[in-house]
């Protein structure tokens, strides 16, 4: 962590401190529009990895990684994941006109954009510039103004109003996902190049969120262990719980290393970046699930009540593990890359 990234972390953490997660969950959009506007306009989170000529900060994916960790730490509902993926899709498309037209609005938080991965779907088809089919589990689908659809080895810009979008009933109450249906919707082709790296960016970005959320869950659990008394002493003084918390901490630091290593490989354009992205997805998914489970166990009956946030972390852990491919699917990907499958 550089001095600049530490300052960015503190700025985001300070801003998020005044916004309760639960209040945003119940809004029609599923996030706090005022908070998102402040994050974008005061800190520039949506444009950190976007060059300055397009309205961004001209930083990079590592700075975005810092922000995603902090958003995950508080389980803050925000259309950050969609903004990051859409921005990177536009930049990687090389479509100058689309970048000039769309990126400034995305960076400012005025235009909500997301990416729908239809590649590999047997029910999705492209006929000329018309797109048809269904894409599930699209982040921020319900609030998006612009969809970037990855299909048939290309990227397509689609007006979200030209699609039919249905909210999905998700285990995770802090992230809205939707199903997007396109029935011959007009698409503007952005690129004819394969976009496998965009999927990897999504996996690595999600791993940063998972590390941040696991960190937040562990912090809350340690604090509870210090204050909850049983048999006349804090439960954190019992050796068996100390060992379990220590193990969770070690797992968390290993997951953080995997996440940052994958992010650095993406930035460097390393040939092993796709493998490291899968490693990060597996490691961070499993670690977050383990830490969330410890959180529930150590909070006892309190953890399963609606009033406590433990169930929100538990829900996020298991739902995020399935987004952009389950751990099992990424293990198969790694085995295939190693010639073991």
Q: Which domain holds residue 247?
A: 196-337
Determine contact, residues 156/188, Cβ cutoff 8 Å.
Answer: yes
The verdict on 205 and 326 lying in the same domain is yes
User: Among residues 157, 175, 191, which one ends one of the domains?
Assistant: 191
| 293 vs 192, higher pLDDT | 293
Strand pairing report for 113-117 and 146-151: parallel
pLDDT digits (tens, 9 = 90+) for 3-43: 999 999 999 999 999 898 888 998 999 999 999 999 999 99
Choose one of 168, 191, 214: the last residue of a domain: 191
Residue reference for tokens 């690129």: 191
Tally the domains of the chain: 2
What's 245-292 look like in SS3?
Answer: HHHHHHHHHHHHHHHHHHHHHHHHCCCCHHHHHHHHHHHHHHHHHHHH
Taking only the tens place, the pLDDT of each residue in 105-156 is: 999 999 999 999 998 788 899 999 999 999 999 999 999 999 999 988 899 9
Same domain for 158 and 220: no
- pTM of the prediction? 0.96
Pair (34, 161) in one structural domain: yes
3-state secondary structure of 135: strand
For residues 130 and 114, state if they share a domain: yes
Asked whether residue 289 falls in the same domain as residue 161, the answer is: no
Q: Based on the domain organization, do 35 and 93 belong to the same domain?
A: yes
162: its two tokens: 């030209």
Tell me which of 133, 166, 191 is where a domain ends.
191
Pair (214, 110) in one structural domain = no
Same domain assignment for residues 185 and 264? no
Q: State whether 102 and 158 are in the same domain.
A: yes
The number of beta carbons lying within 10 Å of the beta carbon of residue 301 is: 8
What pLDDT is recorded for position 195? 60
For residues 137 and 78, state if they share a domain.
yes
Q: Are residues 184 and 201 in the same domain?
A: no
CATH of the domain at 333: 1.20.140.10
Q: Phi and psi (nearest 5°) for 270?
A: -70, 145
Asked if residue 256 and residue 286 are part of one domain, the reply reads yes
């Amino acid at each position: 962590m550089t001095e600049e990234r530490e300052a960015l972390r503190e700025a985001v953490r300070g801003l998020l401190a005044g916004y309760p997660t639960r209040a945003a969950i119940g809004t029609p959009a599923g996030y706090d529009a005022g908070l998102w506007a402040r994050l974008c306009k005061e800190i520039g989170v949506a444009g950190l990895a976007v060059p300055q000529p397009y309205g961004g900060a001209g930083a990079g994916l590592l700075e975005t990684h810092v922000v995603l960790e902090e958003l995950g730490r508080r389980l803050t509902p925000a259309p950050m994941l969609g903004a990051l993926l859409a921005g990177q899709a536009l930049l990687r498309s090389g479509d100058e006109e689309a970048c000039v037209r769309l990126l400034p609005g995305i960076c400012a938080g005025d235009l909500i954009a997301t990416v729908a991965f239809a590649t590999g779907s047997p029910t999705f088809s492209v006929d000329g510039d018309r797109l048809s089919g269904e894409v599930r589990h699209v982040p921020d689908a319900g609030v998006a103004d612009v969809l970037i659809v990855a299909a048939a080895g290309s990227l397509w810009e689609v007006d979200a109003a030209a699609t039919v979008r249905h909210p999905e009933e998700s285990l995770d109450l802090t992230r809205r996902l939707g199903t997007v249906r396109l029935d011959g919707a007009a698409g503007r082709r952005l690129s004819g190049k394969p976009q496998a790296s965009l999927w990897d960016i999504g996996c690595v970005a999600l791993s940063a969120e998972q590390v941040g959320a696991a960190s937040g869950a562990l912090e809350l659990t340690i604090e509870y262990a210090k204050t909850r008394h049983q048999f006349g002493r804090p439960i954190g003084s019992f050796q068996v719980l100390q060992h379990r918390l220590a193990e969770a901490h070690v797992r968390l630091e290993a997951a953080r290393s995997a996440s940052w290593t994958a992010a650095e490989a993406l930035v460097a354009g390393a040939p092993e970046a796709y493998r490291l992205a899968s490693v990060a997805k597996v490691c961070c998914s499993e670690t977050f699930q383990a830490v969330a489970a410890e959180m529930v166990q150590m909070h006892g009956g309190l953890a399963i009540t609606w009033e406590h946030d433990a169930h929100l972390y538990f829900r996020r852990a298991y739902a995020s593990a399935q987004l952009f491919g389950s751990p099992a699917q990424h293990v198969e990907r790694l085995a295939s890359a190693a010639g073991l499958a």
